[in-house]
Amino acid sequence: AEPLCREVLSAWRTLEAGEPVPRNTLTSINILAELLHAQGKDVEAEPFCREVLVGFTKALGEEHPFTISSAENLVGVLRSLGKREDECQHLLDRFGLKEPPPRRGDGPARKEIQNTVNGSPPLDEVD
């Protein structure tokens, strides 16, 4: 899925170059960032999350649901990296987020997702 997401993003960047609101590009960046985050590739996901947040903030304003969702995604990635809690709190305050988003990477459901993303079958399917 990741190579396809990167290919789609590249195409949208080309098609929407110069657009005042590159909506499809921003959406593609967001999808790639979430995929990388789900794969545990948070170092790679972080700059994409930042790009999406800046883009949606400029295009739609701070109160738009896409912008708020982007802020939540960035907080989730930063927390998964275990750093920058002050920045996380600033984002939560800035975008009026009452509850911090749940940390990804915890619990048995996450392990099953990680195994599936990495191509391994869930443990209950292994003989």
Kindly report the pTM of this predicted structure.
0.73
What does the pLDDT read at residue 105?
Answer: 55
CA dihedral 67, 30, 49, 42 (to 10 degrees): 140
**Inter-residue contact 45 to 2 (CB < 8 Å):** no
| Identity of the amino acid at 35 | L
Asked if 5 and 32 touch (Cβ cutoff 8 Å), the reply is yes
Q: Tell me: pLDDT of 124 over 80.
A: no
Tens digits of residue pLDDT in 71-110 = 999 999 999 898 778 888 888 889 888 655 455 555 444 4
Residue 98's contacts (CB-CB under 8 Å, 6 or more residues apart) are none
More confident of the two residues 98 and 62: 62
Domain residue ranges in the chain: 2-116
Looking at domain 2-116, its CATH architecture is Alpha Horseshoe (1.25)
Phi and psi, residue 24, nearest 5°:
-70, -35
Q: Report which DSSP code applies to 83.
A: -
122 by Cβ neighbours in 10 Å (0-12 / 13-18 / 19+) ranks as: exposed
- CA 6/CA 33 separation, integer angstroms: 10
For the chain, the distance separating the N- and C-terminal CA atoms, rounded to the nearest angstrom, is 27
Could you report the per-residue pLDDT of 1-33, keeping only the tens digit for each?
889 999 999 999 999 998 888 999 999 999 999
